[in-house]
Amino acid sequence: MRVMGTVRWFDLLRGFGVIRRDPGEADCFVRHSAMRGSLHHALAFGDRVEFDVVQGAAGAVAYDVIRLAPAVLPLSLKAV
């Protein structure tokens, strides 16, 4: 079953992060290898994503992740 969520954080150097599921489900761990296509290094805080969820040994894990929309940050945050 496909679910929607928002990226809470993603570490580009380590290649993993966390996605908050909608509505209020437990957060999902995500690895860069779970991304569909060539945009796996493009995840950032606030990005909207669609993905499947499997239960791993340590909890929910996202796979087949598709970025739907990049985060829209205030102009003051983009200039950092």
Q: What is the DSSP string of 2-30?
A: EEEEEEEEEETTTTEEEEEETTSPPPEEE
pLDDT of 44 higher than 80: yes
pLDDT at 23: 79
Residue 57 lies in a domain: yes
The DSSP element (H or E) to which 75 belongs, if any, is helix 75-78
Neighbours of 10 (CB within 10 A): 20
Instruction: Give the CATH number, domain containing residue 63.
Output: 2.40.50.140
Q: How many domains does the chain divide into?
A: 1
pLDDT of 74 higher than 60: no
pLDDT at 38: 61
Residue range(s) defining the domain that contains residue 39: 2-71
pLDDT of 15 higher than 60: yes
Residue 80 lies in a domain: no
pLDDT of 50 higher than 90: yes
pLDDT of 3 higher than 60: yes
Can you give the C-alpha Rg of the chain in angstroms? 12
Q: What is the mean pLDDT of the chain?
A: 82
Q: How many whole angstroms separate alpha carbon 48 and alpha carbon 67? A: 6
Residue 25 lies in a domain: yes
Residue 77 lies in a domain: no
